Amino acid sequence: MTYIMFMCLFGLIVGLAAVASNPSPYFAALGLVLVAGMGCGVLVGHGGSFLSLVLFLIYLGGMLVVFAYSAALAAEPYPEGWGSWPVLGVMLAYVLGVVLTGGLFWGGWHEGSWASADEFGEFSVFRGDIAGVALMYSSGGGMLVLGAWVLLLTLFVVLELTRGLSRGALRAV
């Protein structure tokens, strides 16, 4: 199980570096879906199977909408892929930054975080992930609305930045 968790965490870090370094929305949307799968794998490893399933389904629906918008507004004739040298250079710089930051915090602080949500299941009536979802909607309702507003604003900002000087696929309109 530790090997699977290590592979999910490694895939999450490399995938986030690949998404952050890629200028093309086509490959970035695919990378975000893969990163979401790795993140949900980490949640499953910690005992949050229901929460990871719900987040993955919601995230896939949201990514479908974002990919459709970004593909329509930022249509490139020759998109840069992950194999091009500038993208690989930036990706290696991000991974090196993560490794150096991880080296700063290398020590005994992370050992308590490997416990799963159901480790103390005999003391609770609910599963860890179900209680977390209920708490998120009850006590964190305002933060949930604020997060949705920030994500909508981020969508418009990213679409405006990727559009650039040309109008993309909407040039003829």
pLDDT at 169: 54
> Is the dihedral angle over the CA atoms 160, 162, 165, 170 positive or is it negative?
negative
pLDDT at 173: 45
* Residue 80 within any structural domain of the chain: no
- Domain residues for 15? 2-75+85-102+127-170
**What is the total count of domains within the chain?**
1
Assess if residue 39 is contained within a domain: yes
The mean pLDDT values, 10 residues at a time, for the chain of 173 residues are 84 85 73 85 81 80 72 68 80 88 73 58 63 72 84 80 60 49
Angstrom distances, CA of residue 113 to CA of 62, 157, 165: 29, 35, 47
| End-to-end C-alpha distance for the chain, whole angstroms | 54
Of 141, 169, 172, 171, which Cα lies nearest the Cα of 71? 169
Domain contains 108 = no
- In 3D space, the residue among 19, 51, 13, 50 whose CA is nearest the CA of residue 32 turns out to be 19
- pTM of the prediction? 0.61
